[in-house]
Chain A
């Protein structure tokens, strides 16, 4: 069984790396496989001021430290690959990568994280980087004195709207409900900004343009009426969903598509644990992901004590 890992962790965000630190420090042969960049969503965070023990940091620095800790304890990390097959039902679990390489393990920790929701409407992909953006901090300056649409009604959408308003001449928030999900503080800030307008009960149906975005089609969800709005850009902040596509047919999920776990992060499959933003839980923070990862790692270690 030399070629079999004790633990394979799918995902290299705070939950996956924390699990990796714990199990590799326990001298378990550990492999972390990650489809994208190591770090998950936290790498998008410019400032983290509420991580206990660290006065102020950013997502990049925090993740780099976690990654180094995991590697220093002997954990192997492979990132930017495609996971093309997952077999969790047998005693020895198998993960196929890039359609060719298969890795085996006695136990698997799913730390698959979340992914930003996209609009999935005509024009979104075509105009990515040419008017469609998912980061106000990154791309706001390209829209100086231009008009933009922001899609969403949560904290991110309204916070980023206020940030974008420093650059743009006019900003229209389009939100699918008649009320915001954002905290009152963010709602008030956005409503008090004279550059920001609101179209409620509405969804974008199409993004149109030539070399760059020129207009959007908006459906009023109450009346079904479609209207057009000229705009130079569309910023999308419509939240995150659990990244469970690869395991949704294998494992028990709740009605929101999140992995169901017990207090020990055990899933519905023997020898498989889950942690972080892909599991059923209310609060999604770096600290809660780290805690989940730690519990999953300790539970996996316990499971391996009796593995025959």
Chain B
């Protein structure tokens, strides 16, 4: 079990259901390791900004993580975490290893529509 505040993908069946029920989905498949934690943290930060995107993590070591590990888009990946971006159930982007806020945000902006929240400045 990953100790994050994200929703977790629990199984292959759960993975399928999430993709069927949501248009825009980002799943970070990893461990509680140094390359993975920053990506989870970024996703937690972005959850409020990208209301139209569902953010999940998945434990790399559970057997059902094959749904991500064995995805053709992950062929050749040799660095955790494997991060998948789905639109209407199809993979539109996959990344390997650590990513920073700018990299994740630019993928979300490119493939998923921004919510209204993003355009309004939050007063401190």
Contacts and interface: CB of A to CB of B under 8 A. Distances in A.
Interface of A: 36-39, 43-44, 46, 60, 79-82, 100-101, 103, 128-135, 137-139, 142-143, 211-212, 233
Interface string B93-123: 0011110111000000000000000000100
A138 B34 contact: yes
B79 A101 contact: no
Given A103-B124, A130-B96, A37 B41 contact: yes
Given A133-B79, A138-B79, A233-B78, 11 more contacts: A38-B41, A60-B37, A80-B42, A100-B121, A103-B124, A128-B97, A129-B95, A129-B97, A130-B77, A133-B78, A139-B79
B32 interface: yes
Contact of A129 (B31, B33, B38, B78): B78
A46 B35 CA distance: 12
B36 interface: yes
A101 B123 CA distance: 9
Given A129-B95, A138-B31, A139-B80, A79 B41 contact: yes
B11 to A, nearest CB: 22
B76 A137 contact: no
A142 B79 contact: yes
Contacts, number: 77
Interface in B3-53: 3, 31-38, 41-42, 45
Contacts of A80: 41-42, 45, 101
19 contacts: A37-B37, A38-B41, A46-B33, A82-B101, A82-B102, A129-B79, A129-B95, A130-B78, A130-B79, A134-B35, A135-B34, A135-B35, A138-B31, A138-B36, A138-B79, A138-B80, A139-B79, A139-B80, A212-B78
Contacts of B42: 37, 80
Interface of B: 3, 31-38, 41-42, 45, 76-80, 95-98, 100-102, 121, 124
A37 B38 contact: yes
Contacts of A60: 3, 32, 37
B97 A133 contact: yes
A265 B78 CA distance: 42
A36 B100 contact: yes
B3 A143 contact: no
Nearest to A81: B101
A121 B32 CA distance: 29
Given A60-B3, A130-B96, A137-B33, A36 B78 contact: no
A80 to B, nearest CB: 4
